[in-house]
Structure 1
Amino acid sequence: MSDQRDHAQGHGHQHDEQAHHHPHHDHDHQPSGRAARWAHRLSHPTRPHSHASADKIDRALESSAQGMRALWISLAALGATALVQGFVFTLSGSVALLGDTVHNAADALTAVPLAVAFALGRRVATRRFTYGYGRSEDVAGIAIVLTIAGSAAFAAWSAVDRLLDPRPVHSLLAVAAAAVVGFLGNEWVARYRIRVGREIGSAALIADGLHARTDGFTSLAVLLAAGGAALGWQLADPLVGLAITVAILLVLRDAAREVFSRVMDAVNPTLVDTAEQALMKVPEVKDIGELRMRWIGHRLRAEVAVVVDGELSVRAAHQVTVEAEHALLHAVPRLTAALVHADPAPAVGTANPHLALAHHTRVY
């Protein structure tokens, strides 16, 4: 089936990101049938939700504001952590601590591209950017991945340089204390970023939180370097530096996978299952022709074709698509827009209604 049919036939239905919001109830367990439909319509005015454009805009702005707040708070926390560790490095000369300090500083600075992305995401759609600017978060995710890669390269270079030119480490107690500070700062930031990222559906913010969590454990590795140096093992510091580099590379792999999936429009299959279940509970929906979902920043959109009785009038078929979209908006978390198209159920002796589009169909 071709997406062009949405314009060729008159009973598709679309609400954009500024049109429809239902935060407080869902349809996952409602009984099907005419009685259920009328019961829902009668109870609809008493339920606390809004159809207003302003409410949808406020919800979008609220999620972006949450993301911005998480970024600036975590930037301050990681910046303070890096400053403490940097000061201790000047006293100790520990290359393991240097690698951890640089990585924490780089992690703090990843707030900058994400902040730009959240700010852009607030802008309304234009005739050129018809879906808005939400994809700027994916670009920010790429910038974060590149930043992680750069910090891994620097940590590796510092460790190898110290292996080739060993030097003693001083102020070992201060190094150990800085390692603990690094762990506590990173773990707090990780929990905060991941929680907010999940709340608003931002893959980039979640990836940044996972990055911070691994940074915390690499900070603890600096304790091993300090312990080895205290025992007189001079190579402990650069070897731990190399171990930190490996840990950073593991973070890089996970973050790159997360960002790549989002760029390639991947969604969790459970979201598709939830959408299908909600659609099949809508009266008059006989089947689902196709269902597509994609993230645009931290907001989800859907396109779906539902099969209805071919004898329905245009108005009746359109009403079915409205109710199908309504069900999706209630059932699927963070779904802000759905384009629903009605297909007539196949009947013996009737032509394929999409036959005129057959020569546009591409076979992959």
Structure 2
Amino acid sequence: MSSHTHDHLDEHPHPHDHDSDHNHGHEHAHPHPHDHDDGHHHHHGGGLWGWISTIFHLHGHSHQHGELASDQAFVDNQEGIRTVWLALAALTITSLLQIVIVAWSGSVALLADTIHNIGDGLNSVPLLIAFYLARRAATRRYTYGFGKAEDVAGIFIVLSIAVSAGVVFYESIQKLINPEPMSNLGWVTAAAIIGFLGNEAVALLQIRTGRKIGSAALVADGLHARTDGLTSLAVLLAAGGTWLGFPIVDPIIGILIGIAILFITRDAIVTMWYRLMDAIEPEYMEQAEAVISGQPGVEELCRLRMRWMGHRLQAEATIAVDPHLTTLESHHIAEQVRHELFHQIPMLSETIIHIDPWLEEPEAAHELTLHHESVPRPLA
């Protein structure tokens, strides 16, 4: 079996026709182990500060190889963290502008909407914590690392989107039952425009970055920002209807926006369900199968499994090779497969390749374990 973690950048300082025993990533040839005890330990302390220091890695040291996830995963996490901070900054500016308008207009309704927007902006905090956690390397307790923290944060985000839909429906129905004329139309319009533009800008940023780095939770947070933008758009349209003498437009548009948010909620739920259940997009499976089957020396791809760990992919494959090859030759084929997978699928961070002998009756190679596990076969 051949396995190690390969978190690579595109810029490889070594030639690609290197020997298969050359390790990528951080397994260097220097004598000190990578989980080194180099004499200065990090004391986080106890209590709240210790917990915060552990999550955000507040050590003040430049070396992070032993405690942070390696190269490409770290780069992607940094981009995710930067995106969430930018989103929080944009939402803060949006809320501050709305607060100024509330102060000038004295509108209680606008104040409630502004407080709602501030609360929704705070929903990005769990995602921010998840990205910081995901930077940390695997431990003996969390042997697969902390990437799944993103999916946990995604659950909270999906719940927030659903709550937003419920609030919109409730307020719209209340307005149908007990209609109230909308006042301060100018201020309401200004606040609605600011709210829509600010939230939609955040949505575009988060969805684009989330898709780029493969973070379903970041995409879900972007969808949440879009629901808030749609809510502001509903207020804008309602203000226009009221100005034209049709106040009934307000609750009707609210219900329509609520329905749109329900569709967004459904998409977010499906996406997070796939991630929590270790589902994988078919195109990644097809791409990996083509790469593995096309490698010289691979007689058969017996089984391939892939899953997301946060916004990074992991793969496990069983391949069959000529049984007459030496161990070193079989290992070389496995390394060639791994090397090509890493380059063809940039989001792949870890690949484990198991070697089987290519036999007419593959059961013969698994006699000892057949009563525990069936012979590896391609997944339906």
Category of TM-score, reference length = shorter chain: 0.7 to 0.9
Q: Tell me which of 10, 15, 28 is aligned to 2:4.
A: 15
Regions of 4+ moved over 6 Å? 97-100
Q: Could you tell me how far apart the structure 2 residues matched to 1:159 and 1:87 are?
A: 26
Match of 1:268 among 281, 297, 305: 281
Contact 1:21–1:52 (8 Å) recurs in 2 = no
Q: CA RMSD in A?
A: 3.0
Partner of 2:226: 213
Among 318, 340, 357, which residue is 2:331 paired with? 318
Measured in 2, the distance between the counterparts of 1:256 and 1:173 equals 37
Q: If the length of structure 2 is used for normalisation, what is the TM-score?
A: 0.78
Partner of 2:353: 340
Gaps of 5+ in 1: 1-11, 26-38
Residues 180 and 84 from structure 1, CA distance in 2 versus in 1: closer, same or farther, beyond 3 angstroms?
same
SS at match of 2:70: helix
Tell me the residue number matched to 1:7: none
Contact 2:7–2:73 (CA<8 Å) still a contact in 1? no
Report percent identity of matched pairs: 45
Deviations 1:225-250 (A, max 9, x none): 01121123333223333233222222
Deviates more, 1:258-267 or 1:130-139: 258-267
Once the two structures are superposed, residues 199-253 of structure 1 have per-residue CA deviations (whole angstroms, 9 ceiling, x without a partner) of 2211110122233234334422222201121123333223333233222222211
Please give the per-residue CA displacement for 1:282-307, whole angstroms capped at 9, x wherever unaligned: 21111100000000011110000111
What residue in structure 2 maps to residue 247 of structure 1? 260
2:169 to 156, 176, 187: 156
Classify the secondary structure of the residue corresponding to 1:112. helix
What CA distance in whole angstroms lies between the structure 2 residues aligned with 1:43 and 1:92? 72
Which one-letter code corresponds to 1:281 in the other structure? G
SS at match of 1:300: strand
Q: What is the TM-score normalised by the length of structure 1?
A: 0.82
- Looking at structure 2, the residues matched to 229 and 75 of structure 1 have their Cα atoms a distance apart, in angstroms, of 32
- Aligned-partner SS, 1:252: helix
- Distance in 2 of aligned mates of 1:252 and 1:152: 8
* Aligned CA distance change for structure 1 residues 58 and 327 (closer, same or farther; 3 Å): closer
Segments of 5+ residues of structure 2 without an aligned counterpart are: 28-64, 376-380
The structure where helix makes up a greater share of residues is: 1
Moved more, 49-58 or 223-232: 49-58
Whether the 8 Å contact between 2:99 and 2:114 is mirrored in structure 1 is yes
Distance 2:161 2:114 in 1: 13
Residue number among 199, 205, 220 corresponding to 1:186 in the alignment: 199
Match for residue 321 of structure 2?
308
In structure 1, the residue matched to 2:38 is: none
74, 82, 85: which is aligned to 1:72? 85
Aligned 8 A contact 1:22 1:330 in 2: no
- Indicate conservation of the 8 Å contact 2:158/2:268, yes or no: yes
- The CA distance in 1 between the partners of 2:97 and 2:131, in whole Å, is 29
Of residues 364, 367, 374, the one that matches 1:352 is: 364
